[in-house]
Amino acid sequence: MADYKPLQFHVPEPTGRPGDEPDFTDVDIPSAGSAPRPDIDVDPNDIKDLARTMIRVMDKEGNAVGPWAEDIPEDVLMHGLKSMVRTRAFDERMMTLQRQGKTSFYMKCTGEEAIAIAFQQALSKGDMHFPTYRQQGILLAQDYPVVDMINQILSNAKDPLKGRQLPILYSVRDYGFFTVSGNLGTQFVQAVGWAMASAIKGDTKIAAAWIGDGSTAESDFHAALVNASVYKPPVVLNVVNNQWAISSFQGIAGGNSATFAERAHGYGIPSLRVDGNDYLAVYAVSRWAIERARRGHGPTLIEWVTYRVAPHSTSDDPSKYRPKEESSAWPLGDPILRLKNHMIKHGLWSEERHAQAETEFDEEVRAATKEAESHGTMGSGASPKEMFECVFKEMPPHLREQRQKMGV
């Protein structure tokens, strides 16, 4: 075996580290309108190319072009844009709240707003999201009371989750928002199970599963895809590829070897790769996949290509592991700016209204924050009694004894 050279170990590296210039030359960006739009009952084998391209609708000038360009009702666009602005205002305010020491923890979705919001707008009442921690847009797009979100974040006396759960891991059943887990990936297969149940019952509800690029490496991603492949339940499997996990880039999840959309091919599940910062594309593709599921054609996986502009969480400092200017160099731009331009171009919006909306939402969130703070911050106001409730439906004797011991 003398002629074999020593093997080499291969550890993928991102294109840039702190001090380097951002480098996105690897990110292929096909022109808007270039990707075909198949029928919803298409054979997954016939659209494999859609997992390697990027479905884009909005061109540089803000026009909607190509087969995925839909005639989106004005009120949908308007609500979409406003919800994005509102979400960003919310994120900013919560960040401040955390810096003020009023909550322990927060996570922003800056730059990714279009995905959760447009997807939610394509969904129907009765459907269920199985979100991660970066889909606050789902709640904001439904006008779930902002003050209740903040109450949860503050773990205060009005926290709907009674102080039991970490900030931002909301649970809002009536808004189709499944309780967010702190454990990555687990929700993906649960979504498949929920969708299986809908099919078992002969209902028409669909599930939307959410996962990040980094978390696709978790084993439950596979469990989800295997079950989706076998039982073909009505589920949309959303992978939000925002390029980064915490400090590790998408190559550490295998993203340099194939796209995340391509993962679906080994399971016979159709998949689409989409410009996640293009609101129009997100809305159109979401509708396509949701319709496909609801018409009984089974699961779809969608990779939403985007960029995590914010730090991973308030505990994180991205300047430690990626080029400083990377987020502004991201070639797919800002989803809010892009939709705004599109709407201004089409006479639906203006710079003034935009500025006004920003102020309005900032004020709304400020007011809500103030109200929420009046019920306590950083866990104050939550009752120790609640600690013992909801472990089981009925409190078993040993917990009753412990509660007594504690004197509450």
Partner 1 sequence: MPQMNMIEAIRDAMDVKMAEDDNVVVFGEDVGYFGGVFRCTHGLQEKYGANRVFDSPINESGIVGTAIGMAAYGLRPCVEIQFADYIYPAYDQIVSEAARMRYRSSAEFTSPLVVRTPCGGGIFGGQTHSQSPEALFTHISGVKTVIVSNPYDAKGMLISAIEDDDPVIFFEPKRLYNGPFDGHHDRPAKNWSAHPRGDVPEGHYTVPIGKADVVSEGSDVTILTYGTMVYVAETVKEETGIDAEIIDLRSLLPLDIDTIVASVKKTGRCMVLHEATLTSGFGAELAAQVQERCFYNLEVPVERVTGWDTPYPHAQEWDYFPGPARVGAALKEMMEAV
Ligand X SMILES: Cc1ncc(C[n+]2csc(CCOP(=O)(O)OP(=O)(O)O)c2C)c(N)n1
Q: By CB under 8 A, is residue 65 in contact with partner 1?
A: no
Minimum Å gap between C-beta 244 and Mg ion is 5
Q: Is 278 left (phi over 0), alpha (psi -120 to 50) or beta?
A: beta
Q: Choose which of 147, 172, 274, 293 interacts with partner 1 (CB under 8 A).
A: 172
**Angle of helix 351-373 versus helix 74-99 axis, rounded to 10:** 50
> What is the CB neighbour count within 10 angstroms for residue 336?
22
Q: Choose which of 14, 137, 176, 233 interacts with a copy of itself (CB under 8 A).
A: 233
Q: Distance (Å, rounded) from C-alpha 67 to C-alpha 70? A: 8
SS3 labels along 314-354: CCCCHHHCCCCCHHHHCCCCCHHHHHHHHHHHCCCCCHHHH
Minimum Å gap between C-beta 290 and partner 1 is 18
Q: Distance (Å, rounded) from C-alpha 213 to C-alpha 255? A: 8
Q: By CB under 8 A, is residue 267 in contact with a copy of itself?
A: yes
* Contact map string, positions 24 to 63, toward partner 1, x by CB under 8 A: ----------------------------------------
Alpha-carbon distance values, 249 to 214, 273, 328 (Å): 8, 18, 17
Tell me the window of 42-50, 189-197, 292-300, 343-351 that interacts with partner 1 (CB under 8 A): 189-197
* Non-local CB neighbours of 156 within 8 Å, separated by 6+ positions: 163, 372, 373, 375, 376, 377, 379, 380, 381, 382
Q: By CB under 5 A, is residue 242 in contact with Mg ion?
A: yes
Q: By CB under 8 A, is residue 5 in contact with partner 1?
A: no
Q: By CB under 8 A, is residue 186 in contact with partner 1?
A: yes
* Contact map string, positions 197 to 216, toward ligand X, x by CB under 6 A: ---------------xxxx-
Closer residue to a copy of itself, CB minimum distance, 72 or 206: 206
242, 205, 280, 148: CA torsion to nearest 10: -70
When CB distances are held under 5 to 8 angstroms depending on the partner's kind, the choice from a copy of itself, Mg ion, partner 1, none that residue 13 binds is partner 1
Q: Is 378 left (phi over 0), alpha (psi -120 to 50) or beta?
A: left
Q: Choose which of 52, 79, 162, 375 interacts with partner 1 (CB under 8 A).
A: 162
Which parts of this chain interact with a copy of itself (CB under 8 A)?
Answer: 1, 4-12, 44, 124, 196, 198-200, 202-204, 217, 219-223, 226, 229-234, 251-254, 256-258, 262-269, 294-296, 298
Which parts of this chain interact with ligand X (CB under 6 A)?
Answer: 134, 182-184, 212-215, 240, 242, 244-246, 308, 312
